[in-house]
Amino acid sequence: MKNNKGFSLIELIVIMAIMGVLLTFGIVKSEVIFSYNAQEAYKKVMSTLATEKTQVLAHSTLASGTTAVFQADGTLTTDVVSKGVYIEFYVEGNSIYSKTYVKGTANSTEGKKVAGKGVTMICKVKDSASGSVTDVPVSGGEGDGVCFSYDRSTGAFLPYQAGKYVEEIHVLGGTREYVIRLMKKTGKAVRHGK
């Protein structure tokens, strides 16, 4: 009798084929999950911007024509913190959250989860003078995220910084990318593209 100590070529080919099928299934499944998470995040960002605008119109005491949400050094403008209502998107762990602040005080102790693992949110900030666009990823923790606010008298988005506006928010996950276009003069957020 022959003593076999290894696999035959056919056995190795079958094992490799099975591993390839399982690996492909795992990759496809994770792509589907991340794509779904991006779609849900897109819906939550749209909803947050729409519902929190009502808070601004009801509670903000900012004077019309406030210059911007952030100063040139990246800190929040004092008027926005002390008199306004603003929405912050920030990262905690592997997830993106939103929190609304009314005159410097958060509406809740915990943020609302907007996106889970595998989703990225990038804001496209356009300089009105030069026309250049800068990517600002939502990557900072609470108090260091990306903030949005509105002009109470017109409902328009306040500038991100003096002369700079967030034009688009890109929500990416898996193979999907959702683009939210921000209409600065009306304060509306609309889906852009397909």
Model pLDDT for residues 169-187, shown as the tens digit of each residue: 999 887 788 899 999 888 8
Report whether pLDDT(26) > 70: no
Q: Which of 67, 53, 133, 60 is nearest to 98 (CA)?
A: 53
* Residue ranges in the chain assigned as alpha helix (H): 9-59, 78-83
127-158 per-position pLDDT tens digit: 988 999 999 999 888 888 888 888 887 888 88
Region 36-52: mean pLDDT is 84
Cα(17)–Cα(11) distance, rounded to whole angstroms? 10
Report whether pLDDT(64) > 70: no
User: What does the pLDDT read at residue 14?
Assistant: 85
User: What does the pLDDT read at residue 25?
Assistant: 64
